[in-house]
């Protein structure tokens, strides 16, 4: 069964119009990344999986987290399977070395990533952000993630995600 369910996918390099600009730049030269066009109203994980018969256990969510230390705001992106939740106030808080970590405000996450809310993906994130990846994502043959826009989804091998710049495999990230 395809991780993208009923969708027809093509190599991402063939449809850069289905990628946010930073995602297209980051995907250039990477192999194994597929893209499929979707209804933007169905971009949220549960709606996507139901509409396109994509198994939830093959979807991964990328969330932007922030926290402060000594007046400095620190950001990270967390990539966990959609069947789990990122341990923001445990694992992520310790990794960022902040007193409190929380999901970054939507407007700020959109502005800093150059991606649409609901489409934020690990490809093309700001270069100075750590990308915290759950081991289950890294080990997956492929997972479905956003494309930087709400109108498409990517299927990306876990090994490609684990090899991205600033990617760190973090035990117990997804709970």
Q: Where are the domains positioned within the chain? A: 10-160
What is 10-160's CATH superfamily? Answer: YbaK/aminoacyl-tRNA synthetase-associated domain (3.90.960.10)
| DSSP states of the chain | --TTTT---EEGGG-GGGS-HHHHHHHTT-SS-EEEE--GGG-SHHHHHHHHT--GGGBEEEEEEEEEETTEEEEEEEEEETTS-B-IIIIIHHHHT-S-EEEPPHHHHHHHHTS-TT---STT--TTS-EEE-HHHHHSS-EEEE-SSTTEEEEE-HHHHHTSTTEEE-TT-B-
pTM above 0.85, yes or no: yes
Q: What is the pLDDT along the chain (175 residues), one digit of tens a residue?
A: 488 999 999 999 999 999 999 999 999 989 999 999 999 999 999 999 999 999 999 999 999 999 999 999 999 999 999 999 999 999 999 999 999 999 999 999 999 999 999 999 999 999 999 999 999 999 999 999 999 999 999 999 999 999 999 999 999 999 9
């Amino acid at each position: 069964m395809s991780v993208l369910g009923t969708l027809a996918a093509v190599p991402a390099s063939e449809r850069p119009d289905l990628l946010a600009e930073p995602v297209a730049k980051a995907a250039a030269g990477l192999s194994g990344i597929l893209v499929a066009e979707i209804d933007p109203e169905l971009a949220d994980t549960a709606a996507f999986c139901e509409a396109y018969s994509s198994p939830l256990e093959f979807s991964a969510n990328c969330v932007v987290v922030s926290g402060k230390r000594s007046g400095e705001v620190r950001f990270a992106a967390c990539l966990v399977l959609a069947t789990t939740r990122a341990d923001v106030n445990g694992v992520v808080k310790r990794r960022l070395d902040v007193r409190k970590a929380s999901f970054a405000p939507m407007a700020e996450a959109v502005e800093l990533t150059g991606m649409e809310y609901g489409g934020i993906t690990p490809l093309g994130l700001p270069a100075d952000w750590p990308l915290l990846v759950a081991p289950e994502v890294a080990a997956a043959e492929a997972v479905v993630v956003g494309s930087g826009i709400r109108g498409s989804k990517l299927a990306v091998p876990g090994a490609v995600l684990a090899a991205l710049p600033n990617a760190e495999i973090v035990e117990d990230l997804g709970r």
